[in-house]
Amino acid sequence: MGAHGPAKGLMRWVTTTNHKDIGTMYLWFSFAMFILGGAFAMIIRAELFQPGLQIVEPEFFNQMTTMHGLVMVFGAIMPSFVGLANWMIPMMIGAPDMALPRMNNLSFWILPPTFALLASTLFMEGGAPNFGWTFYAPLSTTYAPDTVTFFIFGVHLMGASSIMGSINIIATVVNMRAPGMTYMKMPMFVWTWLITAFLLVAVMPVLAGAVTMMLMDVHFGTSFFSAAGGGDPVLFQHIFWFFGHPEVYIIILPAFGVVSQIIPTFSRKPLFGYDSMVYATASIAFLSFIVWAHHMYTVGMPIAGELFFMYATMLIAVPTGVKVFNWITTMWKGAMTFETPMLFCIGFVFLFTVGGFTGVMLSLAPADFQYHDSYFVVAHFHYVMVAGAVFSMSAAVYYWLPKWCGKMYDETMGKAHFWISFIGFNLTFFPQHFLGLAGMPRRIPDYALQFTDFNTMSSIGAFIYGASQILFLFNVIRTIVAGKPTSEEKTWDGAEGLEWTVPTPAPYHTFTTPPDVK
């Protein structure tokens, strides 16, 4: 390569328009952010291991809760699924690349400087933002540290990246499907991402509007969210949650797509009820826009408003239940095997269902007055986000890694990762339900003595779960560097003579599970 070899190699990655390279960069970046966000969580759980203030100041604790949420949601989970989309969607629909490859490159390269900027606020005067990942005004405007301006700029950049990525996915799926691949023949992962991309294009400008109004309040003397100047702090909550509730479905819908690919493979059966899965996904997306104020039962809205949002929120459980039913029915009487991706998917279905049940509890307005801002909400949210997004992402990496690098991961290590994760996760978040029901508020660095035992369990579980991710990283790197090569051979799915390729050492890893073909 000569003297300029390393520089040439770096420039290849910086300027690449290859969807696989960009997908790989997204995945590695998101994992780095996952480790960073996890480090913030470890600080939180270390402080909460026992009552009293041991390790960090309350102000720094608040900064950790903000940074943990922001980095995990916008830096780890969302980019990981965008990376998965970049890698898999063109191959699944028979396209040579994404529709807009240069914009694809730009949408990735916006992210590293954005999160470097966000992380650098930790070292600035006044410290990192301390107002929580939901950044409610007026705490984030009138009383915010000076670093709020960098935070606002960072959110704008993240939003721009998301919108570009989404437009790219929509353009690719609509215009670049192989001849004969109608919409109702697309793999479920493609369907869930197409719907997710429309959601992102719809709600990211709303978030941009919210942070722009914050910027005006902080620097230009406006009073959008200041009651003293005739504004309304509750307006911020309406705008934020009109973005924020579809956002949690943006995070979980691609996870549904992943699980809908993997469960049929290891059940040796086509996905049960393909059409109903597509309609359920679309229904969830539509309903996600009309439930936002269930985060706001305690702001004093009229009883009619509470009832509307309560019933709409309960209604969203129906299409979600359809999905869970279809996954279980796909497994029913299938020739199931329990390799690592399948274990993560079964763990996903079980834990996500627990999160769904607690979500129904929180949807009830009178009950929510008790649960609101308690650790019960933290437990619910993490059962949906971590068990939902992170477990399915782990499944996806194990499932497609042999396809990506041509080498097979260590199955025993993968199963160990699953079981340590599963035990650590439940030990962390299940006791938090009890803490919340007993009255422990969230986002506090200290707590009353009666909460000690469950907090200690929770912190031990968090460190076990964190350790399991290091095992995951080791397994992935070991696979890429020294994994057993997979030689490709042909296999058949037994129904309709559909052909697709699998690596021989693991005859269960498919390139993509075909939908139930009519």
Can 133 be counted among the known catalytic residues? yes
Q: Point out the catalytic residue in the list 24, 141, 166, 260.
A: 260
Is 409 considered catalytic here? Answer: no
Active-site annotation holds for 459:
no
CA distance 128 to 111: 18
Q: Pick the catalytic residue from 19, 407, 433, 442.
A: 442
Annotated active-site residue 323? The verdict is yes
Active-site residue, selected from the candidate residues 13, 28, 133, 404: 133
Active site residue 97: yes
- Which of 121, 265, 320, 458 is labelled catalytic? 320
Sequence letter at residue 406: G
Task: Return all residues near 376 (Cβ < 8 A) that are at least 6 apart.
Answer: 358, 361, 362, 432, 433, 435, 436, 437
Pick from 41, 43, 64: nearest CA to 122:
64
For the record, the structure tokens of 367 come out as 């009950």
Annotation says 162 is catalytic: yes
Q: List the structure tokens of 491.
A: 């296999």
| Catalytic status, residue 509 | no
292 in active site: no
Q: What does the alpha-carbon distance between residue 458 and residue 404 come to, in Å, rounded to a whole number?
A: 36
205 near 239, Cβ under 8 Å?
no
245 catalytic per annotation: yes
Q: Which of 177, 294, 403, 509 is catalytic?
A: 294
The catalytic position among 295, 403, 433, 509 is 295
**Buried b or exposed e, range 280-301, using 16+ CB within 10 angstroms:** bbebbbebbeebbbbbbbeeeb
Q: How far is CA 44 from the centre of its chain?
A: 20
Share of the chain residues as helix, strand and coil, in percent rounded to the nearest 5: 70, 5, 25
Catalytic residue among 59, 97, 410, 411: 97
State yes or no: is 260 an active-site residue: yes
**From the candidates 45, 177, 323, 417, which is the catalytic residue?**
323
Q: Which residues of 19-38 are buried (b: 16+ CB within 10 A; e: fewer)?
A: bebbbbbbbebbbbbbebbb
Query: 408 in helix, strand or coil?
Result: strand
Active-site residue, selected from the candidate residues 19, 45, 68, 382: 68
- Catalytic residue, candidates 24, 80, 141, 161: 161
Of 249, 274, 297, 375, which is the active-site residue?
Answer: 249
The answer to whether residues 248 and 316 touch, using CB atoms and an 8 Å cutoff, is: no
In whole angstroms, what is the distance from residue 271 CA to residue 349 CA?
15
The two structure tokens encoding residue 503: 């690596």
Is 196 a known active-site residue?
Answer: no
Whether 249 sits among the annotated catalytic residues: the reply is yes
Residues marked active site are found at 68, 97, 133, 161-162, 245, 247, 249, 260, 294-295, 320, 323, 442
